[in-house]
Structure 1
Amino acid sequence: MTSAPPDQPAPGSVPGPEPLPALRDVPRSDRPGLLAALAEDLAAAEYRVDAVAGLLGPEAHAALSRDQIVPALVATRRAGEDPARRHLTAVVRFFLLARPASREELDVALPTLGAEGLVALGLAEAHDDGRLAATLDLRPYAWDGPEGQVEMWVASDLAAHQRPGVLRADHVLGIGHASATLVQTTARRPVARALDLGTGCGIQAFHLLAHAHHVVATDVSDRALAFARFNVLLNAQVLGVDPDQPERRIELRHGSLLEPVQGERFDLVVSNPPFVITPRSAEESAEDRFTYRDGGLPGDRLVADLVAGLGDVLAEGGTAQLLGNWEIPDGAPWHERVRTWVPPGVDAWVLQREQLGPGQYAETWLADASQQRDPDAYEEAYAAYLDDFASRGTAAIGFGAVWLRRPGPGQARLDRFEELTHPLEQPIGPHWSAAIDRADWLAAHPDLGPERLVVAEDVTEERHQRPGAEHPGVILLRQGAGFRRTSLMSTELAGFVSACDGELTAGQIASALAALLERDDDAFRPGLLAEAANLVADGFLVPA
């Protein structure tokens, strides 16, 4: 049996101004030698996203993404017979599939750390039969960074498909659908200071470290901060963090919403807050709430308060992006209440991606925590959701992304609320960033007349007409990338777009169309250029 390497806690190994409190049931990050051994063994086992996908095969890998582990169990049983893949198979079964393993198997699969090292780091515990079981999910994660692919490992609590029973209230979520959505949605740019509000296991902070000089990550959960700290130090090298002085790049702070950063300013804020609307009761305590999703406030007040307060922590030109739910009253436009949350002097662009009825919403979040496994409690909780929404006249619940900015000199003032429920190109963040740049360009060029425009490369034109008709009845412009919008065109606007090849100015094209159609130039031109400006804003036309 391989023994754990000797180790001593390293001074300054805790990201943040003060050490976090001692906690049970969290991975230890005060053993730098053991962390280094773990990283060495995981790398040697080729525990990477593409290698795991190759080991499992397309069908089992796709099933695992749906939290179905049986195909992966079958695939790893077969793969375990191949000596060349035995180490990777053992690691996948232990950490991803949560299957117990003997100490001898783990000593072979992780020879530097060994089984005793796993226990010492709090990553494994003994079963009655002497085998070890993983205490957490530890999985490979990768993304395309500014200088190439970034590969790391991310620890979180075991999910419902990996362990029996209802999730613990202080469950630390892994890389879920919402966190991946925020990663893809964020409009990234180099910044001096960034804030990850509600960091959880740290996924947003890891991405911020790729383009921010310094990151502050906050959470109301001490357990979440402990997982984030472990993940930062396990992946210190790839994240560009000095494990002896991590606070130079990243600080972890405990506290609710904006409390930990009052009086500070940031160039970029991202947040996947606990936005789930949950019925409140007089008997509940903080320990009864699923902290990863429930902020403890009634209705959608948490998101409302966050949107209203974010302007106070944004530097001039600073932006914030967050996910959220909002209640839609019966008979009201979906954005009516959301618009009232935006404080004066702050730009807003809110994108609603879906709406659910109260029943669908209740089912979604009760299943999320596996609460259906207790039938009596499920019935009671479902009814509480319906009563809670009915008490406020809520007809539907919207989900989407919010972009905010404290504008600087020369930047556009944005007040945009739109619903796009069709699939968008992912990541959408770069396209959102380009759209903001176009808005600023339009603000700096209020008269399009002298400007030259071209049709964006992803745009196609579609015409529909009845058989035998002389002219098309419908002309559409479609985007093949980004937001993938469709724009209904007038004949005049279609003619303008067809002439936008960068040779003539927008004003010259408009005047030529006015003459061709025998219209008064002074009356025709302003309206057509205003429509053209809308096409620039949406990305159908771009400056030449």
Structure 2
Amino acid sequence: MTQTATDFTTGNVPDAPRSDLPELLLALSRDLRAISYTVDGVAEALGPSAHAALGRDQLIPALLVSGRLAGSDDTSVRALAAVVQLWLLAVPQSVDAIDAALPHVRTQGLADLGLVAVESGVVTAKVDLRPYGWDPNQDGSGGAELWVASDLAAHQAPGVLRHDHVLGIGQASTTLVQVTVRKHSRRALDLGTGCGIQTFHLLHHCEHVTATDISERALAFTRFNLLLNAPQLNLDPANLEDRVSLRLGSLLEPVAGQRFDLVVSNPPFVITPRASGETPSGQFTYRDGGLPGDEIVASLVRTMSGVLEPGGTAQMLGNWEVVSGSEWHDRPAAWLEGQDIDSWFIQREQVGPEQYAETWLQDASENRDRAHYRESYAAYLDDFASRDVGGIGFGMIWMRRRDAAQAAIKRFEEITYPIEQPIGPHLGAAVDRADWLVGASLPDTRLVVAGDVTEERHQRPGALHPGVILLRQGAGLRRTNLLSTELAGFVSACDGELTVRQLAGALEAILGNAEDIDPATFREGLLAGVENLVLDGFLIPAQEKETP
């Protein structure tokens, strides 16, 4: 998939919201805030059960609740119900109801902005416009209350999605938000911006963001969303380019020759069978990269270092194929061969070809046409079989263009159980610990047990000693570590009073009286175990211990 990279500055793209009408954008944001069309406002109005169901794309409970609210004597309650039904539930409304709910922008203004269609006094949503936000410091930055426009989803509109569908706030986008390490950056890149979710968060801790996409409609939605939320994002609508550059083009082509401190990407990583003679118009641009197999992710991993400043990081989501009989990380490891780049792959899920096909055919509502579904399902299975693919992995990727002061990191982990969210701060802390160990003298360090760590001991009834000793993390990646007897003894003595060298010497003396051990081998093995516990956050330098 190739396309010439160009600056995107137009506010008027066919079949996309208009961002060149600043007075109407201001009126719309004023009206939405006045009726509490916010995350908290909608949640309070619908109630916990209906709001939770709406989060699962189940509309019926919210339809029932909003229907009752529409008959309220309170005009503000009726106004919120009308807007919820219009944009979240895709229920047509009367012109009178929308004019009353949004008195400054009114129905005509919404139509001019390309958000609704009006016919015979009935207002129909052309887009999904929903509240979005986060609490202060939830992602390492300040909080925000925003609105996000995207195309209507499969549960809101009949038929198969259009191939240039602009995806809204989905699980993948929020996963990337939560996994991103939030540090101040001078220049950031949002690769494959979609409707702009990642850019919103980047603007809170980055001086300038370049947002790219292959889809002109996606960039139009992003521009609309940025300007609608300009005050909350600290943007000057008259000089958007001072902080945000929108670039049209494929993959890294739009930023060739540029360097960034941070790159985030939720790329079109879905593995889709390629048909002979297929053109981009036959692909779903929001998810299909247009390359065979997992090559879209592979190509980004192989070339990402070319757009990173020294020490710069990249975080992305991706799929990778697992060839039958191989380990899941064999292919990602091959992508990294010959590169001077740090990497950390965390596989969160692995599914078989059948489940993968079912997931993505349903995602685009392709299961609504039985004949098309059968043909497409078979194409998926044939495509995977042609490469002997036995499974497809999904996970998170962290990369860094290393400099001399940083640790060499090559990690592949499979973590399929629930982890703490947002996980970004914990990933950042883990990298910081790895870098700290490069310059630190571990034997001369005083360590303490991290505050979220607990110990479990298991033994057979009547046994004198435990057969299994486990350390568990209650936060972050929530790892479990199986300890040897000597390492368990070391951890139990880590109160910040003695150095690692002193504790190791004490253990050596105690165990040496009871066992025949080689001092050098003992210390080497113990220090390796301690270093791993520090890397994973079970043990931390004493100065990091929080004051109660």
Residue 114 of structure 2 corresponds to residue 119 of structure 1: no
Contact 2:445/2:499 (8 A) holds in 1? yes
Instruction: Choose 83-92 or 390-399, whichever is displaced more.
Output: 83-92
Q: Distance in 2 between matches of 1:402 and 1:144?
A: 25
Q: Distance in 2 between matches of 1:531 and 1:341?
A: 29
Q: Secondary structure at the match of 2:460?
A: coil
Contact 1:145/1:210 (8 A) holds in 2? no
Structure 2 match to 1:502 = 496
Q: Distance in 2 between matches of 1:520 and 1:238?
A: 63
Letter in 2 for 1:141: Y
Q: Distance in 2 between matches of 1:534 and 1:220?
A: 42
- Using the TM superposition, give the Cα deviation of residue 210 of structure 1 relative to its aligned residue in structure 2, in angstroms: 0.4
Residue 392 of structure 2 corresponds to residue 397 of structure 1: yes
Structure 2 match to 1:94 = 86
Residue 161 of structure 2 corresponds to residue 167 of structure 1: yes
- Using the TM superposition, give the Cα deviation of residue 289 of structure 1 relative to its aligned residue in structure 2, in angstroms: 0.5
Structure 1 match to 2:132 = 141
Residue 56 of structure 2 corresponds to residue 66 of structure 1: yes
What are the residue-to-residue correspondences of 1:471-486 with 2, within 5 Å?
471-486=465-480
Letter in 2 for 1:412: A
Alignment: residue pair count: 527
**Please, which of 152, 175, 200 is the counterpart of residue 181 of structure 1?**
175
Q: Calculate percent identity across the aligned residue pairs.
A: 62
Residue 35 of structure 2 corresponds to residue 40 of structure 1: no
Contact 1:514/1:520 (8 A) holds in 2? no
Q: Distance in 2 between matches of 1:293 and 1:386?
A: 18
Q: Distance in 2 between matches of 1:23 and 1:410?
A: 47
Structure 1 match to 2:225 = 231
Note the alpha carbon deviations across 1:59-87, whole angstroms, 9 max, x for none: 11111111110110100111223314111
Q: Distance in 2 between matches of 1:180 and 1:267?
A: 21
Contact 2:11/2:223 (8 A) holds in 1? no
Structure 2 match to 1:542 = 540
Q: Secondary structure at the match of 2:236?
A: coil
**Please, which of 439, 442, 445 is the counterpart of residue 437 of structure 2?**
442
What are the residue-to-residue correspondences of 1:379-390 with 2, within 5 Å?
379-390=374-385
Structure 2 match to 1:264 = 258
Structure 1 match to 2:3 = none
Q: Distance in 1 between matches of 2:520 and 2:92?
A: 78
- Using the TM superposition, give the Cα deviation of residue 340 of structure 1 relative to its aligned residue in structure 2, in angstroms: 1.4
- Using the TM superposition, give the Cα deviation of residue 145 of structure 1 relative to its aligned residue in structure 2, in angstroms: 4.3
Letter in 2 for 1:480: G
Note the alpha carbon deviations across 1:263-321, whole angstroms, 9 max, x for none: 11000000000000000011322111000000100000010000101000000110000
Residue 285 of structure 2 corresponds to residue 291 of structure 1: yes
- Using the TM superposition, give the Cα deviation of residue 20 of structure 1 relative to its aligned residue in structure 2, in angstroms: 3.5
Contact 2:486/2:507 (8 A) holds in 1? yes
Structure 2 match to 1:366 = 361
**Please, which of 306, 311, 315 is the counterpart of residue 312 of structure 1?**
306
Letter in 1 for 2:131: P
Q: Distance in 1 between matches of 2:199 and 2:262?
A: 11
Note the alpha carbon deviations across 1:11-57, whole angstroms, 9 max, x for none: xxxxx955338522110000000000000000001101011011111
Q: Distance in 1 between matches of 2:89 and 2:231?
A: 27
Q: Distance in 1 between matches of 2:259 and 2:110?
A: 40
Structure 1 match to 2:152 = 158
TM-score, with normalisation over the residues of structure 2? 0.95
Q: Distance in 2 between matches of 1:74 and 1:321?
A: 41
Structure 1 match to 2:458 = 464
TM-score, with normalisation over the residues of structure 1? 0.95
Q: Distance in 2 between matches of 1:206 and 1:77?
A: 33
Letter in 2 for 1:116: Q
- Using the TM superposition, give the Cα deviation of residue 149 of structure 1 relative to its aligned residue in structure 2, in angstroms: 2.1
- Using the TM superposition, give the Cα deviation of residue 407 of structure 1 relative to its aligned residue in structure 2, in angstroms: 1.2
**Please, which of 426, 433, 439 is the counterpart of residue 428 of structure 2?**
433
Residue 406 of structure 2 corresponds to residue 411 of structure 1: yes
